[in-house]
Amino acid sequence: MNTPSLKVLGLTHGERLGMRQRWLKFWDRVAEPRRSAVDENASDFYVNSLLPSLRIFYGLDQKSLAKVHAHLEWFSLPGGWPLIRQGEVGHSLYIVVSGALGVFVRGTDGRTELVTQLSTGDAVGEMSLLTGEKRSATLTAIRDTELLRLPKEAFDELSREFPVLVHNLAEILARRLATTTSAKRTVFRPRTFAVVPLNNSIPCTDLCYRLNRSFAENGERIPVITADARDRPTEWFHQMESDHEHLIYQSESNDGAWTRLCLRQSDRILLVVPASQHPSGSPLERLFKGQRRKRLEIVFFHQDTTDADAVSAWLSLYPDVFHHHVRAGNNKDIARLTRHFNSTAVGLVLAGGGARGFAHLGALRAIREAGAGIDILGGTSMGGIIAAGIAMDWTEDELVERMRAAFVDANPISDYTIPRISLVRGRKVTALLREHFGDTKIEDLWRPYFCVSSNLTTGHVTVHRRGPIWQALRASVAIPGLLPPVSYNGEVLVDGAVMNNFPADIMKEFGRGPVIGIDVEGNQSITAREIDEQSGLGWRTLDESRRDDPGIINILMRAGTVNSEAQTKLSRRMVDIYFSPNLEDVGIRDWHKFDEAIEAGYTHTRDVIQAVGPRLFSTVRRSKTGY
């Protein structure tokens, strides 16, 4: 919608508030709760608290900041309204006083993506003060937002009197350039949340209280604002945001004025629905159709563990939203949801590598002993299988025993056939995956999960986040030439290792918090001497007893992963903590070295955790009970 921003300058605070109320009524077609006049001493807050915290004004004393404040223009932007548009010429600096702005970038494919958000104290438009160039992004009010504007003419005048402003501006732009060229993305940390129950069957008060208590256990006091605050003045809400790192707005289960206010005041919206209730098109559901998808997340509330039949229906309506599962009375689920709230959710990425992947099991033991909670899981091939087991909530012992039974006791790559599209039929692999994972869907897992496969039809990586787990994993392990490819929606999928054996970049894109990566690449080289010695042996290369030669299976497995090495090197730069066990003595199909690989993973991970010390690893030490 091409809607002009609400700029109400030259009026008293009371007049501005009244005009703002009328605009908001027009915007939502619903009367907003009454607010009182803005405190006339707001300028003291700007000069004494807000402006000194901005890097561009570093080095200015209070008297100088008062001169700066005299050039600033205050205005209000209702939630959903654009401030500036990508491609427009910029002439001003904007400072967020309260609320939040979404930074949207339009790509070459025409799609618009939310890349980050700006909250209280953030400034935008510094480049325009120097160059007046076109804006590189569109800025839209994610929720009701109060801003200060510094025109370029005013900055030029101030910089002549205070040259330090130019120095500060150059430093800001240099830092921004360094961040832009860095491989690691800045994680946006939302501050305000609306918890919206779909209906009265959701114990919303209890859920908000448990979230409050979970934050408190981590040393943070986070108020829950209920409908009792509907008559509070604007300044009260602003003061609450200034005084607390996070706020929770407890909504009502209707589309009334208080619910709409909660949505406008929140950086992130959590729609809480019963896991057994299908969408019905209620007025409250329709209210969410207009929400920016990256603001909205769905929490599926389970009264028991068998009532997840409605999850797929909801995600069909909202295919791009992040979702969570919370079981009644399960404190681990609440703790994980809390970590998602404060952007400290820990992502674990497990690389593929055949039998080398058993090292993941040992690494997980060391991570558990260190007290780290794992909140999001992803992987490729063998790493994807083990990550799926964790997302299924299998215990450590159960995970080890299932992997032993599937790969050591019953070698899945042994049903050879006359080669047409592969050396192995793949029926044993499929049967084992279905035996252990059943008909469980990825979207029904207790923790967010993904695995990757390589799409030979499109030439791109396919990220599996929905559908049967066994089917996604069957594609992720389909080494070209060894296992038959998987036909999925008219496309041909093979082992994810062909294109991305270590998908830490995909995990980082979620922007949920720190990423732990476990790479089991090891020494996979095959020498020309080995090939020369084995030439002419024909079918003897299939002999599983000859583990000292490369063999056709090893060659195929190596060839299936070599192309992703460049991508793996890039992905390593995306992780916050990186583990790479020494697995030179473990071959890709050395299933019998199960315990040896586990021990290598455990020893290496334990030693790295001890070496990095508590300062770094404390960023992921969030659970007393482990993963």
Q: What pLDDT does 336 receive?
A: 93
Reported residue count of the chain is 627
Strands 460-464 and 449-455: antiparallel
Token look-up 């799926």 returns: 388
In the DSSP assignment, the letter for residue 183 is: S
Q: What pLDDT does 219 receive?
A: 79
The pTM of the full predicted model, rounded to 2 decimals, is 0.78
Provide the CB-side half-sphere exposure for 467 (13 A, CA).
15
Q: What pLDDT does 433 receive?
A: 95
Token look-up 């070459």 returns: 108
Question: How far, CA to CA in Å, does 110 sit from each of 104, 107, 113, 320?
Answer: 12, 5, 10, 17
Q: What pLDDT does 294 receive?
A: 58
The two tokens of residue 150 are 């510094």
Kindly give the residue spans of alpha helices, DSSP state H, lying in 252-405: 257-265, 283-287, 311-317, 331-341, 359-369, 382-391, 396-403
Q: What pLDDT does 495 receive?
A: 92
The residues facing 370 across adjacent strands are none
Q: Can you tell me whether residue 136 is helix, strand or coil?
A: coil
Residue 386 CA to residue 237 CA, distance in Å, equals: 46
Q: What pLDDT does 553 receive?
A: 57
DSSP line for 146-172:
EEEEEEHHHHHHHHHH-THHHHHHHHH
Token look-up 């009375």 returns: 329
Q: What pLDDT does 600 receive?
A: 96
If we measure between CA atoms, which residue out of 571, 557, 566 comes closest to residue 422? Answer: 557
Across the chain, which has 627 residues, the per-10-residue mean pLDDT values are: 36 43 41 35 67 83 88 83 84 83 77 76 76 79 84 90 87 69 58 92 94 86 93 81 88 92 88 92 81 78 79 90 93 92 91 94 94 92 97 95 92 68 78 94 96 93 96 92 85 91 92 92 50 45 44 58 65 88 89 95 93 65 51
The two tokens of residue 190 are 């939302």
Non-local CB neighbours of 84 within 8 Å, separated by 6+ positions: 90, 94, 125, 135, 138, 139
Q: What pLDDT does 307 receive?
A: 65
The two tokens of residue 358 are 């058993």
If we measure between CA atoms, which residue out of 96, 94, 67, 92 comes closest to residue 152? Answer: 92
